[in-house]
Amino acid sequence: MESNDTNTLIQSSKGDGTIQRTMLREVIRQRIVERILDGTYMPGTRLVESAIAREFGTSQGPVREALRDLAGMRFIESEPHRGSRVREVSLAELVQVYPVRAALEEVAGREAASRMSEETIGSLSSELEEMHRAAESGDAHTQLVHDVRFHQIIVEASGNQILIEMWNSLRVEARTLISAIKSGSDLKLIAEMHRPILHGLQIGDGEVAGREMRQHIEFFGDLVARVSKTV
């Protein structure tokens, strides 16, 4: 319940010239997200405003705002007068994500293909490489990180701001459940499955890239759907 190292939330930022726009709400939000992602706050955990405020040494206000933001990002859910708790990510919901993600990424691939720079191609190649490296050491989690990053790069390369915001709001990186399934799969194969996408982008063919991305996501969607039925 107590904390000592967490109390320095605000760096007065005098010293370096950079203006350190510190907003309490932001800091608190990040802190909570970390805890959700690393499992400190498991799904279902109640997040009590006053308790968090006390722990962080702030007042209730900023905590409340942080929680509201988190609710907007679907990390938590809140009911009036009843507080907030970490959201349960159901398998059923995960299944619903895939068709949406497939559709969005198809658009991303199509639009990104004509906007690829050498640098972007380089980043993608290097993420792919990292995926393989992780596959060899059997590190499913690390592979997932690079996997997500690979897709994110493409979405951002689309240059479509709406698309980017929309994709980010899917919180792909937070729905880590897949890693569980992946660990049962062939990591090397998974890494290799990204190559056709990269190829499509390299030759600048939007139709190919889009189609490959869609199929890629749909593949995992089917995988998850199958698992969810088994359960």
User: Cβ closer to a copy of itself: 100 or 193?
Assistant: 100
Q: Minimum distance between the CB of residue 68 and DNA, rounded to whole angstroms?
A: 8
21 touching a copy of itself, by CB under 8 A: yes
The b-or-e profile of 4-26 (16+ CB within 10 A means b, else e) is: eeeeeeeeeeeeeeeeeeeebbe
**Member of 161, 184, 189, 231 binding a copy of itself (CB under 8 A):** 161
Strands 76-79, 83-86: parallel, antiparallel or unpaired by DSSP? Answer: antiparallel
User: Cβ closer to a copy of itself: 99 or 196?
Assistant: 99
**CA–CA separation, 188 and 184 (whole Å):** 12
Q: Minimum distance between the CB of residue 131 and a copy of itself, rounded to whole angstroms?
A: 26
170 touching a copy of itself, by CB under 8 A: yes
Q: 46 to 85, contacts with DNA by CB under 7 A?
A: 46-51, 58-62, 64-65, 78, 80-84
Strands 46-47, 76-79: parallel, antiparallel or unpaired by DSSP? Answer: unpaired
**CA–CA separation, 111 and 57 (whole Å):** 47
User: Cβ closer to a copy of itself: 111 or 127?
Assistant: 111
User: Cβ closer to a copy of itself: 97 or 190?
Assistant: 97
Q: Are 78 and 141 in contact (CB under 8 A)?
A: no
**Member of 76, 86, 87, 106 binding a copy of itself (CB under 8 A):** 106
User: Cβ closer to a copy of itself: 106 or 130?
Assistant: 106
Longest dimension (CA), the chain: 59
Q: Radius of gyration of the chain from Cα atoms?
A: 20
How many CB atoms within 10 Å of residue 226? 11
Q: Are 176 and 147 in contact (CB under 8 A)?
A: no
Piece of 2-10, 43-51, 166-174, 177-185 that binds a copy of itself (CB under 8 A)? 166-174
97 touching a copy of itself, by CB under 8 A: yes
Sign of CA dihedral 103, 151, 94, 71: negative
**CA–CA separation, 213 and 231 (whole Å):** 27
Residues that bind DNA (CB under 7 A): 19, 21-25, 46-51, 58-62, 64-65, 78, 80-84
Residues that bind a copy of itself (CB under 8 A): 21, 23, 61, 64-65, 68-69, 72, 80, 93, 96-97, 99-100, 103-104, 106-107, 110-111, 160-163, 166, 169-170
